[in-house]
Amino acid sequence: MSPIIELRDVHKAFGDNQVLRGVSLAIAEGETFVLLGRSGSGKTVLLKLIEGLVHPDQGMVALEGHDLETATGRELRELRGLLGIQFQSGALFDSMSVFDNVAFPLRERRLLPTAAAIERRVNETLALVGLADAVEKLPAELSGGMRTRLAFARAYAVRPKILLCDDPTAGLDPILTEAVDEALRIGKRELGATILLVTQSLPTAFELGDRLGLLHEGQLVAVGPPEVFKASPHPAVKAFLHDWLARREDTTGAAPA
Ligand SMILES: Nc1ncnc2c1ncn2[C@@H]1O[C@H](COP(=O)(O)OP(=O)(O)OP(=O)(O)O)[C@@H](O)[C@H]1O
Ligand SMILES: [Mg+2]
């Protein structure tokens, strides 16, 4: 079976800033791939290439075997329809009820034929993330964790085959981080989505990732399952893991004020 996401020898520069210098990656349907890398290493650029918002200077990006550069307008729209995209702040519509927030992408994209079908899908999706009792509420009436789950419910309403997540736990406290992790587990296990996750949270990466890779100096290194990644002798991976542990000790072992 051809991979659902494929990058082949992708190069991308902005002026003389060579961000990606030959990235190849094939992600299988249903797989969760975690993309790690320091700030500025090109993780967001890589996601934008997959969204078709950034174009490679060289190499190929394909979804379900279709090269995005040669796809027709109609094919591109269909391929984009495979994608669900989740950023940190899920950008909820504050004046809309929980129900309408989740129904929004279904109505806008006319994905279901009747109001009854939309209602069923919204209710199923809210139940999936544990928000069945909050249908009539406004986002402002929800806790932070519930808002996080609502943001994922909106992404999941369209049943995306591929979920792209750009650092969804950045800056979040441990409770909200856990809410994001739980929402990702639901996407993976209940919906069988293929997930490409950029995260700074290594516990999340190791728990959810079927494979991980580090973007370093424009290339993807140490690609493999968590045990393989952790044991990689690559100096950039060792430094990355070492720095992460040091940062964590800073925050968890800090001297009392
Ligand atoms: N549209 C653009 N024009 C010019 N330079 C860009 C553009 N988009 C990204 N870059 C540059 O590409 C490099 C990689 O950026 P990117 O946003 O992918 O980093 P990142 O790995 O996502 O970092 P972070 O972890 O901080 O989000 C940076 O040097 C950035 O300045
Ligand atoms: Mg980024």
Q: Is the CB of 45 under 6 A from ligand 1?
A: yes
pLDDT at 111: 86
5-82+162-252 classified as CATH 3.40.50.300: yes
Among left, alpha and beta (phi > 0; psi -120 to 50; other), residue 133 is alpha
Ligand 1, atom 25: closest residue by C-alpha: 39
Which ligand has its closest atom nearest to the C-alpha of 42?
A: 1
Ligand 1, atom 5: closest residue by C-alpha: 14
Task: Give the tens place of pLDDT for each residue, 1-59.
Answer: 789 999 999 999 999 999 999 999 999 999 999 999 999 999 999 999 999 999 999 99
Which ligand has its closest atom nearest to the C-alpha of 23?
A: 1
The residue ranking higher by pLDDT, 167 or 249, is 167
- How far away, in angstroms, is 255 Cα from ligand 2 center? 31
Mutate to test the pocket of ligand 1, among 7, 10, 17 (most ligand atoms within 8 A of CB): 17
How buried is 113 (Cβ within 10 angstroms: 0-12 exposed, 13-18 middle, 19+ buried)?
Answer: exposed
The residue ranking higher by pLDDT, 254 or 100, is 100
- How far away, in angstroms, is 257 Cα from ligand 2 center? 32
Query: How far apart are the C-alpha atoms of 237 and 80, rounded to whole Å?
Result: 32
Q: Is the pLDDT of residue 165 over 50?
A: yes
Mean pLDDT of 183-210: 94
Q: Where are the domains of the chain?
A: 5-82+162-252, 96-159
Task: Give the tens place of pLDDT for each residue, 189-202.
Answer: 999 999 999 998 99
Task: Give the tens place of pLDDT for each residue, 78-125.
Answer: 998 899 888 766 678 999 999 999 999 999 988 899 999 999 999 999
